Amino acid sequence: MGNLKNSLFSPVEEELVLVEEGIRAVADVEYPWLVELLGYIVNSGGKRVRPALTLLAGKLSNGGNLDALIPVATGVELLHTATLMHDDTIDISTKRRGKPTAASIWGWGVATLAGDYLFSRAAELVSQANNVRADRLFAQTLMALCTGELEESFSSFDLNQNRQSYLRKIGNKTASLFAMATESGGIVAEASEEAIEALRSYGYNLGMAFQIVDDIFDFTAGEEELGKPVASDLLHGHLTLPAILLKEQRPDDNPVNDIFEHRDIERNLELAIQMIRNSGIVSECYRSAQDFITEACRALDIFPESPSQRKLIELADYVVERRQ
């Protein structure tokens, strides 16, 4: 992760230090019992890609407005952290990034309330920009995130999940937050409408590719690399792109159907993993991710070449080249 920050985030390296300080300050509260809980959550790691996007977008647009960009970037990361907290409680996950989840330590109810606390703190930070449009974007993004999570919950173990529903869900659950990260940077920097729309498009398409690659890793990486069980989405009844392609290739005879019908889950899960790994499915998923990356980079064509623009393009390339 150090190499990632040093290379791709170099134009905003100093600002990211301030964001990191702001994230840690969330645990600086008067209640000792809350200090421990929040400290554990906000110090659980993360690549800080989303706040870096806000800062890079702000600098790309108009040189940036640090007084406003720093709290907004910090709020973006806290919003992301809050969604992870709620994901863990919904999925009853005991591990994330190789560590016990806060929910497994303090309990599911406490973790849910902690996520709510972080949502509120994120909103308060974004409001420090004194920009009504940024506040509205935060609210719209939160609605999109909840819509994606609700759709995923309602469609759990539904064999009718398809590419269209998958793309819609990840658009809400993942890409909306990436889009907020870049769009808010442009808004706070008072960029032109054309630039704000371009940044939104870049962030959205980047987020789509990011999630598709994550979903590839869910089948191709090991549990130690993932920090959670392999194919965990499939176990929870969620069809991601690799599993959807497997169903398309074998509509009537595939292990996904058996898993969803709770037949010999362990054997069929291993069979599904091997089928996906030993076919052209992984390559097809990467091609889909690359299509979104191409669209993301195309959106940046309206900006003159600069350190921030180059790093955003490099970051897009990194998304499809990364290995976790």
214 vs 108, 232, 248, 322, CA distance in Å?
Answer: 25, 12, 20, 10
Q: Residue 199: its pLDDT value, please? A: 98
User: What average pLDDT does this structure show over 106-135?
Assistant: 95
pLDDT tens digit string along 170-209? 999 999 999 999 999 999 999 999 999 999 999 999 999 9
Go through the domains of the chain in sequence order and give each one's CATH number. 2-321 (1.10.600.10)
How far, in whole angstroms, is CA 130 from its chain's centroid? Answer: 26
Q: What is the percentage of the chain residues whose pLDDT exceeds 90?
A: 79
Query: For residues 95 and 6, which has the higher predicted lDDT (pLDDT)?
Result: 95
Checking if the pLDDT of 316 tops 50, the result is yes
Query: For residues 94 and 135, which has the higher predicted lDDT (pLDDT)?
Result: 135
Q: Which residue spans within the chain are E strands per DSSP?
A: 95-96, 99-100
Q: What's the mean pLDDT when you consider all of the chain?
A: 92
SS3 assignment, position 99: strand
Q: Residue 1: its pLDDT value, please? A: 40
CA atoms within 13 A on the CB side of 15: 26
Q: Measure the CA–CA gap between 260 and 91, rounded to whole angstroms.
A: 16
User: What average pLDDT does this structure show over 40-59?
Assistant: 91
Q: Measure the CA–CA gap between 159 and 262, rounded to whole angstroms.
A: 13
User: What average pLDDT does this structure show over 94-108?
Assistant: 88
